[in-house]
Structure 1
Amino acid sequence: MAILIADSGATKCEWCVVDKRKAKKTIFTMGISPYFLNSAQVEDIVRREVFPAVNRYKIEAIYYYGTGCKNPANRTMIRKAIQRVFPGIEVTVDNDLMGAARAVCLDGKGIACILGTGSNSCYYNGKKIVKNSPGLGYVLGDEGSGAYLGKKVLQYYLYETFDEELKYRFEEQYKLTSVDILDKVYKQPLPNKFLAGFTLFLAENRGHYMIENIIEDGLNDFFFQHVIRYNESWKYPIHFVGGVASGFRDVVRDLCSSYELEMGTILQNPMEGLIKYHKS
């Protein structure tokens, strides 16, 4: 017997078949966001891309963690769409923050943080999320996220704060005019993904004082606005999931130290931890 675990963001969804011994099959589909897709579209993705790849396994339960699933109506929509493809199989749907918390905390207590395209955090008591700092999205919040850091990169470029060396590197790599940038941010779909793409520029230019300032200030904003607001932050480990946390783990570690917090686990994505959680 096996289980199927799904971890979905707005742009990508990872599905993994797991039996009692190990992961058996991993596939990727487009992201499933209930704010962008309706029930029929979700069912179509699962039927066309997931079902043929996993149908030969004897799946007894499906655990789905996804963006937008804090809303009960969205959870119900996703669950029913999956059940139409996998009738008779138990389907549990929860939000991506619960997935992150279970992945890094397992059945222990801790602060679970997401630092990817977006950002979020919570205090997890080993069974459920007890406290959650409000996530305001990339326009009003998402401190420390890829979109937040990418926005800073564009501000430094468009305000001509970059020195000549960084300005030259940016223009050579992206060949974007200010008109192009504003169009992609204000008129094109998925501007948060566009903004988050500039974390690559940060990663490739580590060591320059302006780049380090953007990274350190952006991640410190996340700690200041969210992490240290939990009283439990000084009692339990601070764990992280996401490409930003993984890519800039040295800065995350230094910030934990400066705030006198216990550094926990850092995972690039939650699937590894979710497999451990559900196997146990």
Structure 2
Amino acid sequence: MGVGIKLIADSGSTKTEWGVLGLDQPLILKTQGVSPYFQSAEQIKQILEAELVPQLPADSEVTAVYFYGTGLSQPKNLQLVSDAINIVWPRATSDVQHDLMGAARSLCGHKEGVVSILGTGSNSCYYNGKEIVKNNPGLGYVLGDEGSGAYLGRKVLQYYLYNSFDEDLLARFDYKYHTNKDEILENVYRKPLANRYLAGFAEFLSENREHFMIQNILEDGLNDFFFNHIYKYRESWTTALHFTGGIAWHFRDILAELCELYELPMGKVLRTPMEGLMEFHR
């Protein structure tokens, strides 16, 4: 019998980060994202077997899996991911939760807080130290996801396709992406995982932050998140606001400016919840 290990997954649409506990030193591994909106149980099983299992120590046995992922507030999605995990590791105990719970446990531990995820998608909640008590509904990248990579990337493409960029930004965009209207519309409306595709254009914002048009996109996009989500929790004025995700991390200075502008208490910003989750489950 091998060394017993625990797996902790923080999974978004684009990538999954896996923490491994039980070895002499904790490991962090990565696979592609798991999204029950776009993948079947069989496809998720294939990702785990092809991308994760080969990275695990040969003499190890998985005894527990704590999986925090996108789209798992819906029972049928949660069951789908649970089924895939149970097929791959039938002898392990498993706990599958929405990624918001992962963010809350990571950022707050056993204390209260308003927790936001700003990654490929976006979401938020009020966490009382044990449970998520309030969750302003996440509507996905078509109807919502304000402040997310997909939302900001869509703004970039709108500016490009509407020919709103000045000559300088237009040249930078063309040099980086070598794309056109037909290709963009094909990827957005006909190909799978359009949210990942849109989020890929958020990198353009990070690389050109000094330009006033880019600054406007960022400030407007993140302000939309505050207006539609943070403002819906009355606790936002009395408890710390915590953030995690790639967008939150890269543009944390703008989040701090918005908190100061609206006189809201700024809390932690983590690039990923993994460090806090490994501490929580240790």
If the TM-score is normalised by the length of the shorter chain, which range does it land in? over 0.9
Aligned-partner Cα distance in 2 for 1:56–1:35: 34
1:112 maps to what in 2?
Answer: 115
From the superposition, tell whether residues 198 and 53 of structure 1 become closer, same or farther in structure 2 (CA, over 3 Å).
closer
Return the letter of the residue paired with 1:87. Answer: P
Aligned length: 278
Among candidates 70, 88, 95, match of residue 91 of structure 2? 88
Aligned-partner Cα distance in 2 for 1:192–1:62: 27
Aligned-partner Cα distance in 2 for 1:85–1:3: 14
- 3-state secondary structure, aligned to 2:60: coil
Quick check: 2:120–2:199 contact (8 Å CA) kept in 1? yes
- 3-state secondary structure, aligned to 1:160: coil
Root mean square deviation, CA, Å: 1.7
Percent of aligned pairs with the same amino acid: 54
2:184 maps to what in 1?
Answer: 181
2:6 maps to what in 1?
Answer: 3
1:37 maps to what in 2?
Answer: 39
Return the letter of the residue paired with 1:235. Answer: T
Superposed structure 1 runs of 4+ greater than 2 Å apart: 19-22, 35-60
Among candidates 16, 26, 38, match of residue 13 of structure 1? 16
User: 1:101-131 CA deviation, whole Å, 9 max, x = no partner?
Assistant: 1111111100110111111000011111100
1:162 maps to what in 2?
Answer: 165
For structure 1, which runs of at least 5 residues remain unmatched after alignment?
none
Aligned-partner Cα distance in 1 for 2:14–2:251: 22
Among candidates 122, 135, 158, match of residue 132 of structure 1? 135
User: 1:216-238 CA deviation, whole Å, 9 max, x = no partner?
Assistant: 01000000110011000011110
How far apart are residue 58 of structure 1 and its match? 4.7
User: 1:226-253 CA deviation, whole Å, 9 max, x = no partner?
Assistant: 0011000011110111111100111011
TM-score, scaled to structure 2 = 0.93
Among candidates 243, 247, 252, match of residue 244 of structure 1? 247
How far apart are residue 263 of structure 1 and its match? 0.8
2:207 maps to what in 1?
Answer: 204
User: 1:54-113 CA deviation, whole Å, 9 max, x = no partner?
Assistant: 352354321011112111222223223212322232110001111111111111100110
Q: 1:19-98 to 2 correspondence within 5 Å?
A: 19=22, 22-23=25-26, 25-54=27-56, 56-98=59-101
TM-score, scaled to structure 1 = 0.93
How far apart are residue 22 of structure 1 and its match? 4.8
How far apart are residue 20 of structure 1 and its match? 8.5
